[in-house]
Chains A and B, each alone.
Chain A
Amino acid sequence: MVICFTGVLNHFLRPKHIARHLGEESGSMGWFWAMAAGVVSHGPMYIWYPFLEDLREHGARDGLIATFFYARAVKIPLLPLMIDYFGLVFTGVLSLYILVGALLQGLLLQRLVGRFGENQKE
């Protein structure tokens, strides 16, 4: 699935598209998309590494990738199970704090990294 995702991404998306939605030009909508993508993404974190690396190489901001990673803690299909184990109040409060935390973390990481669109590896 990830191979197909990455292949289709490489084929259809140009760096200017990524820059518009997830790069420096994306503004507040970029944060929204990163959080939404994190919430709806399935599977283990490491499965998404190749896809995210590709997005990053196309110009996606580091902060948005950090937001995506943290927002993955909210799993919509698993919410009923979580409510069953921990209760509605706990699940609701935790999910809300996770989303706020994901956003703050992305913003902080972006500040710490310093420059928008810097994708170099050490």
Chain B
Amino acid sequence: MEKNKKKNRQPTLAGSLKKSATSFLAMAPLLLGVIALVGLFQTQVTPKMLASLFRGNPFADTMLGTLIGASAAGNPVVSYVLGGELLARGISYYAVSAFILSWVTLGFIQLPAEIEIFGLRFTALRNLLAFIFTLLIAVATTQTIQVLL
């Protein structure tokens, strides 16, 4: 009876914090790898380089904007600054909205960590859906603002 009581007892707050710190530290090498790759992208890729990739075809630019945003990572503010620069260089809203959206919602760099933590099936389904929805939302947003503005 006493043994059963002990077994069902709630862990202490300190014990719970220790447990979560241990599991977080176990993931630290993976997360540090992601942070290093993000830093590398931010120092090596310029708006001029990005703008030179777009060709003015709405479908191709939406796809390209999504792929570039998904390859990048970092603070969303950086994506706004780059997106603003791209618009100023005459790149379409299709590409820019896809770019800033996939920057936050997709992440090729984070894929290994996501698979490790959530499993392959969940990660594959989530990223596939996020990719499709980013394309759809970029097109829908551009079409809507063309009507509204």
Contact = CB atoms under 8 A, between A and B. Distances in A.
B83 A93 contact: no
B24 A122 contact: no
A72 B104 contact: yes
A92 to B, nearest CB: 9
- Interface of chain A, helix or strand or loop or mixed? helix
B117 A49 contact: yes
B45 interface: no
A56 B31 CA distance: 19
Interface in B129-149: 129-130, 133, 136-137, 140-141, 144-145, 148-149
A49 B20 contact: no
B34 A121 contact: no
B10 interface: yes
A7 B77 contact: no
B17 A105 contact: no
Given A10-B11, A98-B137, A121-B119, A50 B76 contact: no
Interface in A69-85: 69-70, 72-73, 75, 78, 81-82, 85
Interface residues of B, number: 55
A90 B93 contact: yes
Interface in A42-94: 44-47, 49-50, 52-54, 56, 62, 65-66, 69-70, 72-73, 75, 78, 81-82, 85-86, 89-90, 93-94
Nearest to B120: A122
Interface of A: 2-4, 6-11, 44-47, 49-50, 52-54, 56, 62, 65-66, 69-70, 72-73, 75, 78, 81-82, 85-86, 89-90, 93-94, 97-98, 101, 104-105, 108-109, 112-113, 120-122
25 contacts: A2-B24, A4-B17, A7-B13, A8-B13, A10-B11, A44-B38, A44-B75, A45-B110, A46-B34, A46-B114, A49-B113, A49-B114, A50-B27, A52-B118, A66-B129, A66-B130, A69-B105, A69-B126, A69-B130, A72-B105, A82-B80, A85-B80, A86-B83, A90-B93, A93-B145
